[in-house]
């Protein structure tokens, strides 16, 4: 069975603080994809990153970075120097071997990030 | 259009009423997904189309839920005899579906409230 756990329900930080959102997953697939999506109050899910199970290199994109560790089945997301505009619900998701193209996504319950000015 | 468009954005239905939710995917996108997002939860898969073929409907919660995509473009999710537990945001997503390196793009959803 596939499962995604985001243990942090809500996180509140002050602007410019760094924050890490945790994601732990379970799957029996040997090939799979992991995702992070951002959901602002408007409701639309905004794609942030996709990672396949064979690529454990950490990735950095501006203030965002992702740490994928297969040994602990984790795919954590760090925002450096957080800004008020980062306030949103963040979802971690898992799919089978065809990524988002044809496989359904299994989402965690989300982490609400509130960045205070 | 540039993105996935869903209509209506908000729908209030009386219990027992039938509703139809529309999704206009990105032009040319082969794959189309419907998800249901209850308040405070992550989206949950309902059904998947590849062109007009409904390849996976394992997530539909009951036979009151029905989805179609007759011409492989616009899709409609229909809920018959709505119940209060159907209240949720219904999200549609589409993707090119032709390579491994594509992701699904989501619409803003339809918020359904059953009273």
pLDDT, tens digit, 9 for 90 and up, residues A58-101: 888 899 999 999 999 999 999 999 999 999 999 999 988 776 66
- Determine the pLDDT at residue A18: 97
Q: pLDDT tens digits for B7-55?
A: 999 999 999 999 999 999 999 999 999 999 999 999 999 999 999 999 9
Nearest residue in A to B51, CA atom: A102
- Determine the pLDDT at residue B1: 54
Segment B101-108 shows an average pLDDT of 82
* Of the partner residues B40, B95, B108, the one whose CB lies closest to the CB of residue A101: B95
Strand partners, B1: none
Q: Which residues of A touch B50 (CB under 8 A)?
A: 102
If you count DSSP H runs as helices and E runs as strands, how many of each does chain A have, helices first? 1, 12
* Of the partner residues A47, A50, A102, the one whose CB lies closest to the CB of residue B31: A102
Segment A42-51 shows an average pLDDT of 89
Chain B interface includes A43 (CB < 8 A): yes
Q: What is the mean pLDDT of chain B?
A: 93
| Residue of B87, B77, B65 whose CA lies nearest to B15 | B87
Inter-chain touch A47–B56, beta carbons under 8 Å: no
Q: How far is CA B106 from CA A47, A104, B64, in A?
A: 9, 13, 24
Chain A interface includes B25 (CB < 8 A): no
Distance CA(A37)–CA(A44), nearest Å, equals: 10
User: What does residue B86 show for φ and ψ, rounded to 5 degrees?
Assistant: -80, -10
Nearest residue in A to B59, CA atom: A104
- Determine the pLDDT at residue A99: 65
Tokens representing A37 are: 């999506």
Please give the share of chain B, as a percent, with pLDDT higher than 70.
95
Strand partners, A64: A61, A79
Q: Looking at the predicted structure, is the pLDDT value of residue B3 above 70? A: yes
Contact B114, B15 (CB under 8 A): yes
């Amino acid at each position: 069975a596939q499962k995604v756990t985001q243990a942090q329900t809500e996180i509140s930080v002050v602007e410019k603080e760094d924050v890490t959102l945790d994601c732990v997953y379970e799957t029996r697939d040997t090939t799979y994809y992991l995702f992070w999506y951002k959901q602002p109050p408007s409701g639309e899910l905004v794609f942030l990153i996709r990672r396949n199970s064979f690529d454990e290199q950490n990735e950095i994109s501006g203030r965002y970075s992702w740490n994928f560790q297969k040994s602990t089945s984790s795919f954590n997301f760090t925002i450096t120097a957080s800004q008020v505009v980062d306030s949103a619900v963040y979802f971690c998701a898992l799919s089978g071997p065809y990524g988002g193209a044809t496989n359904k996504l299994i989402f965690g319950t989300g982490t609400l990030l509130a960045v205070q000015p | 259009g540039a993105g996935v468009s869903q209509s209506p954005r908000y729908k209030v239905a009386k219990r027992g009423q039938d509703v139809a939710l529309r999704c206009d995917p990105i032009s040319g996108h082969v794959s189309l997904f419907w998800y249901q997002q209850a308040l405070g939860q992550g989206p949950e898969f309902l059904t998947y189309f590849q062109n007009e073929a409904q390849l996976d409907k394992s997530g539909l919660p009951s036979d009151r839920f029905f989805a179609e995509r007759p011409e492989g473009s616009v899709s409609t999710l229909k809920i018959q005899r709505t119940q209060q537990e159907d209240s949720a945001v219904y999200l549609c997503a589409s993707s090119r579906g032709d390579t491994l390196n594509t992701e699904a793009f989501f619409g803003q959803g339809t918020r359904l409230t059953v009273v």
